[in-house]
Chains A and B, each alone.
Chain A
Amino acid sequence: MGESMTKTILIVDDSPSIRQLVGYTLRAAGYAVIEAANGLEGLEQAIACRLDLVITDINMSMLDGLELVQALRGCADYARTPILLLTTESTVEMKRRGKALGATGWLVKPFDPKALVRVVHEVTGTAGAAAMAAPRP
């Protein structure tokens, strides 16, 4: 659990329930989670904190998820930070745009908590942390 505790994840979604559910899932897996309600807020948080992963929705006011990916990829600090898009959108065209802008992966809502934790472990390089966080007899 020690390694994952140091990782900070930003969840950007205009839905409070999704922010809460992602936060609940990732905190239970040992990550520190901060939240933002739209892309602009997310960008401000990313500038203020050093993040290890950004998970963002697409359809939001102010700055949408794809614009946020583009803005973050434009910052030297976030050129290589994993960014996951968590959205209801699932068309090939949208995925192609996300990939072209530099997103690391695409998760279609509703997310399975186990699958989310697995992907987060994978992209943040904390594989095995879950087993440490929840030891079994």
Chain B
Amino acid sequence: MISKRVINQFKKHKLGVIGLWIVVGLYIIMIFSDFFAPYSYMTTHSNVTYAPPSKIHFFHDGKFMGPFVYGFKKERDPVTFLLKFEEDRSKIYKIELFVKGEEYNFYGLKANIHFFGIKVDPQETMILLFGADRFGRDIFSRTLVGSKVSLTASLLGTAISLLIGAIMGAISGYYGGAIDVLIQRFIEVLSSFPRIPLWLALSVILPPNWPSTWVYFGIIVVLSLIGWTGVARVVRGMTLSLKEKEFIVAAKVSGVKDMKIITSHILPNMSSYLIVVATLSIPGMILGESTISFLGLGIKEPMTSWGLLLKEAQSLTEIAVHPWLIIPGFFIMISVLAFNFLGDGLRDAIDPYRTSEKV
């Protein structure tokens, strides 16, 4: 279990601690994403289609003003006929905190206070930290709100694969014999497929006319159907060694039912290892969701996720003309990195002999 020794050991792992703080930060931002986002993630603004990220200034004509953005004017490039956004230095919009803006739905409550923003009608000028997409939606807001899908799908997917994996692994290790052979063969067959083709093939099964929420849960099922085998393998190995221990034998002799032994004696005894396995499988889930959505087989508009946001940047032309479309990708990278750090630190603290290495 998580003891003082484990906590002290974890604190020594600097990258692990950094990972933990980043993960905590990401989830706080995720929970309040609609509030931190300066605009509603769905509202389109035709005046700012493909507007580049706004620059934040502090000095106007050498005078300190605090953080502000200039307005913009649009011009057509005489050669390429592309719209160009130029800063209009005559208009100054101060960045303020707790600004009234576009209405959003905050877990059932209608709200319109945003953490920061500029006090001007968005149809006129917007503060676009990451630029705007082809519908003039604020990519920064969409990235923040997109974390809801990317960060919760991976968590739920891990929870389900942990559940399936723990049960299958424990049954396989505890009973042994024919059941064990059967489950192990099945796991072997499933792991004969590399993950990416299987992700794609399974996510095509989700009907295209499903509503977004169903697709979201469908993807979670797809991810966990593939993810549980690694957990099952670790749990089986640990069950094999645990079931010979005296306290399990004692429970058996006293007539405790098999299922009761598994659920209240075997699995709780490996809970700390399960935490490590779970943390280390989250990055794969995040990558899975974003890969599926990136290829257009996952989350669909108007919902948003990090993978779906990057889908906009799929062509060479987009990268050349609107490079800011790839910014959401850094969030995938940072969250995966943070979970990897955290998992590594937890493993070193809980499991110094690395029984949970192979997931």
Is the A/B pair a real complex? no
Binding site for B on A (CB under 8 A): none
Interface residues of B (CB under 8 A from A): none
